[in-house]
Amino acid sequence: MSKPRIAFFGLGLMGSGMAHQLIKAGFPLAVFNRNQEKAGPFAAVGAHVALTPREAATRADVLISMVADDNASRAVWFGEYGALAAATAGAVCIESSTVSVACVRKLAAAAAARGCEFLDAPVTGSKVHAASGELHFLVGGPPAALEKVRPVLAAMSKTITPLGPVGSGALLKLINNFVCGVQVASLAEAMAMIERSGLDRARALEILTQGAPGSPIVKTVAGRMTAPDYTPNFLLRLMAKDLAYAVEESGKFSVEPATAAAALGVFRKGIAAGHGDEDIAALVEVFRSGAGNAAKTPNA
């Protein structure tokens, strides 16, 4: 059987690795990226490089978006040159970006109006996992639609977890990322305490990373903070965006977003200090400089 034709939107840190995995698996691929320079290399490996999302979506069976935020998602899907304008009835639209639940639900309704199926399928993992096809998909939407595109998602992932109706994947991804953001903020603060106290940093970090606090993200980011190496793996400004979306969602469930809001305040200081386009590990510089000492919790 011939493989479904795929339109892929967004070739950033994560999207580029995902798109390469699809090509490696032999799927016919059309790509679109706002910065055309990033799309150029895909032509050399057999992908069609489109000038607009609409062009990429023409005749596609599966449409996948992996962009930065709600605004970027709307730009890809909607409007005269958006992907939905060319989506054919029966196509499956997949939003893999980390966006708000409201954005996902609006997109699902618009896809249904076009006669398309829809899944929200954000991922966990880093650019390393994207490049190696070992992401974890968190999927919201109809089981039948998921089964239809399972081989496509499998080419990019290690696991695929169905979570329930549309919006379920988006919500869990925001919860996942806010827990990660809180850990990074607390690690940045702890790192500054260790360094200023005169403790042996290597020994102190061994206790933290090998003990109860030593989650995978703490272990990974501690090494980058120590180096220091702020080469982007996860942009600091995007974690701030995810925290902001999580704070907004928590209010819908009457949950006081105390830790998420506090972490968001620290990440916003990181952006203000010029670290927004660096890795999340750069957040430690907020505390090393003393800027985090009076961090205030923003209004939720």
pTM of the entire predicted model: 0.94
List all residues 6 or more positions away from 237 whose beta carbon is below 8 Å from its beta carbon.
271, 276, 277
pLDDT computed for residue 290 by the predictor: 85
Residues 12, 105: Cα–Cα separation, whole Å: 24
With H, G, I as helix, E, B as strand and everything else as coil, classify residue 95.
strand
Residues 161, 190: Cα–Cα separation, whole Å: 34
pLDDT computed for residue 297 by the predictor: 35
**Which of 121, 37, 116 has its CA nearest to residue 84?**
116
Give catalytic status of residue 173 as yes or no.
yes
Residue with tokens 């069609």: 48
- Give the CA-trace dihedral at 189, 192, 197, 201, to 10 degrees: 110
Which segments in the chain show pLDDT lower than 70? 1, 293-300
Cis peptide before 228 (omega within 30 of 0): yes
pLDDT computed for residue 295 by the predictor: 42
**Which of 2, 13, 9 has its CA nearest to residue 237?**
13
Name the active-site residue from 127, 148, 173, 269. Answer: 173
Which H or E run includes 178?
helix 168-197
pLDDT computed for residue 22 by the predictor: 98
CA atoms within 13 A on the CB side of 173: 31
**Amino acid residing at 178:** F
List all residues 6 or more positions away from 5 whose beta carbon is below 8 Å from its beta carbon.
27, 28, 29, 30, 59, 60, 61, 62
- Which burial class, exposed, middle or buried, applies to 127 when counting CB atoms under 10 A from its CB (0-12, 13-18, 19+)? middle
CA atoms within 13 A on the CB side of 295: 26
pLDDT computed for residue 296 by the predictor: 40
| CATH numbers and ranges of domains, the chain | 6-165 (3.40.50.720), 171-288 (1.10.1040.10)
- Residues 15, 18, 23, 27, CA torsion sign: negative
pLDDT computed for residue 114 by the predictor: 97
